[in-house]
Amino acid sequence: MTIHPDFDTPIERRGTRSVKWDAMQAAQGVDAGDGIAMWVADMDFAAADVLQEATKALIEKANYGYFTGETEMKDAVAWWMETRHGWRADPAHMVSTAGLGNAIAICLQTYTDPGDEVIIFTPVYHEFTNKIVNADRKVKESPLVIGEDGTYRMDLDALEAAMTGRERLLLFCSPHNPAGRIWTIAEQQAVARFCARHDLILVSDEIHHDLVYPGKIHVPMPVAAPDSVERLVMLTSSSKTFNTAGSRLGTVTIPGADLRKRFGKQLNALNLQSNLLGCELTRAAYSPRGAIWVDQLVAYLDGNRAAFLKAMNQIPGLQPMPMQATYLAWIDFSNTGMDMSEVLHRVKSDARIAPSVGAEFGTGGETCLRFNFAMPRARLDTAIERLQAAFRDLQ
Ligand SMILES: Cc1ncc(COP(=O)(O)O)c(C=O)c1O
């Protein structure tokens, strides 16, 4: 089957109620008129044809009542996980949430009590901390350390030494946002063993599972560490892969009967149910046509990654982290000798680019910015030129 997605032609997102573009001025102080949005983690590409067809078919039925589409959607998730990731997920173990931020929040409510500690490896996706703090639980940061290859490592020995006995849950990000790191099987097994040793619930957020660069393989936690399944809560979604975050649907797969029952009870207590559009988009996405689209997307993103990291590496003082996954580049500015306010002034005011601020990702992120490069290549070239100009005096 030939599918030719057009990733080069820009789509107009301004005026579409896009957070990334329409809230950029208010949130970032960068004018959307000629600014470039590189913050929120969604993509500036048109949706896949297979999604457009599913949406049109939905509209044509003129029927938005209660629906029964969950079964087909879960079967599609199971098919995708097995064919793309070698994981035999059982549809009977799946429940749906309104996205994965919602899934994390429900995990906290279900498996922890106020005051309990929740372990995260920082810097990490900033909503982990927000969810924990706003649930009146305590964040226990385990700072990542930079290895010889320039990418992050977990320091489980340091974490072990810092354990208090009040920890209940470990929230894992795999592949890692913002590092673009794929954890090895051995690293995942070490995390699973750590959770077993300390009787922790292991929540593995694998939302970036499909955005993996050629030559790299993401191994889902239940495949890497099958012994972990009785304490494991798996979070997956088609939303990063297919750019459907607005349809608010995440899949939570819980192999253990007791954990699944407790999660289901909490969902019912809050009356949280999936939505028709989210189910239809996920079902349509997780298909042979969707798979071809994703392969072409990743190839395109790989070109963007190469161009962006190469150019950033050439600016003295900038250290982009080598990436194995995601479209989110993590750049350390500490060797520029500038403080973050100066760096941000140059990026936002001079280059007119809105990045994500590293400090929001927790300890270790203070000197970094995160740049989303999921955009047409020509626009990325403009972003590169502007960043080069903004830091030209460092040459
Ligand atoms: C690791 C991680 N988890 C969860 C989310 C949010 O997921 P959702 O939009 O489904 O709430 C993101 C979004 O960037 C993410 O990077």
Mean pLDDT confidence for 92-121: 98
CA neighbor of 150 nearest in space, from 314, 355, 332: 332
**CA 250 to ligand 1: nearest atom:** 10
Pocket test for ligand 1, best of 38, 102, 107, 240 (most atoms within 8 A of CB): 240
Ligand 1 centre from 369 Cα, in Å?
18
- What is the share, in percent, of the chain residues with pLDDT greater than 90? 98
237 within ligand 1 shell (Cβ under 6 A): yes
358 CB within 6 A, ligand 1: no
* Interatomic CA distance for residues 192 and 43, integer angstroms: 32
Mean pLDDT of 182-197: 98
Mean pLDDT of all residues belonging to the chain: 97
The Cα 113–Cα 167 span in angstroms is 10
Distance (angstroms) between ligand 1 centre and the Cα of 386 equals 29
The Å distance, Cα 234 to ligand 1 centre, comes to 13
Is the CB of 125 within 6 Å of ligand 1?
yes
Mutate to test the pocket of ligand 1, among 96, 127, 176, 203 (most ligand atoms within 8 A of CB): 127
Tell me the average pLDDT across 327-354. Answer: 98
pLDDT band at residue 2 under the 50/70/90 scheme: low
CB distance 206 to ligand 1 below 6 Å: no
Q: How far is the CA of 13 from the centre of ligand 1 (A)?
A: 20
Tell me how far the alpha carbon of residue 94 lies from the centroid of ligand 1, in angstroms: 18
C-alpha 370 – ligand 1 centre gap (Å): 15
pLDDT tens track for 252-273: 999 999 999 999 999 999 999 9
CA-CA distance, 170 to 233, in Å (whole number)? 10
Q: Is residue 1's pLDDT more than 90? A: no
pLDDT for res 253: 98
Residue 135 pLDDT? 98
Q: Which tokens is 237 given?
A: 């979604």
pLDDT at 395: 75
Q: List the domains of the chain with CATH numbers.
A: 19-48+290-394 (3.90.1150.10), 64-287 (3.40.640.10)
Confidence of residue 4 (pLDDT cuts 50, 70, 90): confident
CA of 241 to the centre of ligand 1 (A): 11
Please check whether residue 178 is in contact with residue 356, taking contact to mean a CB–CB distance below 8 angstroms: yes
173 lines ligand 1 (CB under 6 A): yes
Q: What is the DSSP string of 102-158?
A: HHHHHHHHHH--TT-EEEEEES--THHHHHHHHTT-EEEEEE-EE-TTSSEE--HHH
Q: What's the confidence (pLDDT) of residue 69? A: 83
CA 100 to ligand 1 centroid distance, Å:
6
For a mutational test of ligand 1's pocket, the pick from 207, 282, 370, i.e. the residue with the most ligand atoms closer than 8 A to its C-beta, is: 207
Could you tell me the distance, in angstroms and rounded to a whole number, from the CA of residue 387 to the centre of ligand 1?
27
CB 85 within 8 A of CB 291: no
Tell me the pLDDT tens digit for each residue of 56-76: 999 999 999 999 989 999 999
Q: 366 burial class (0-12, 13-18, 19+ CB within 10 angstroms)?
A: middle
Percentage of the chain lying above the pLDDT 70 cut: 99
pLDDT digits (tens, 9 = 90+) for 34-58: 999 999 999 999 999 999 999 999 9
Answer whether the bond into residue 143 is a cis peptide, omega within 30°.
Answer: no
pTM above 0.85, yes or no: yes
155-183 pLDDT, tens digit per residue, is: 999 999 999 999 999 999 999 999 999 99
Atom of ligand 1 nearest to the CA of 101: 11
Instruction: Look at residue 296 and give its three-state secondary structure.
Output: helix
Tens digit of each residue's pLDDT (9 = 90 or more) over 197-217? 999 999 999 999 999 999 999
Query: 245: Cβ below 6 Å to ligand 1?
Result: yes
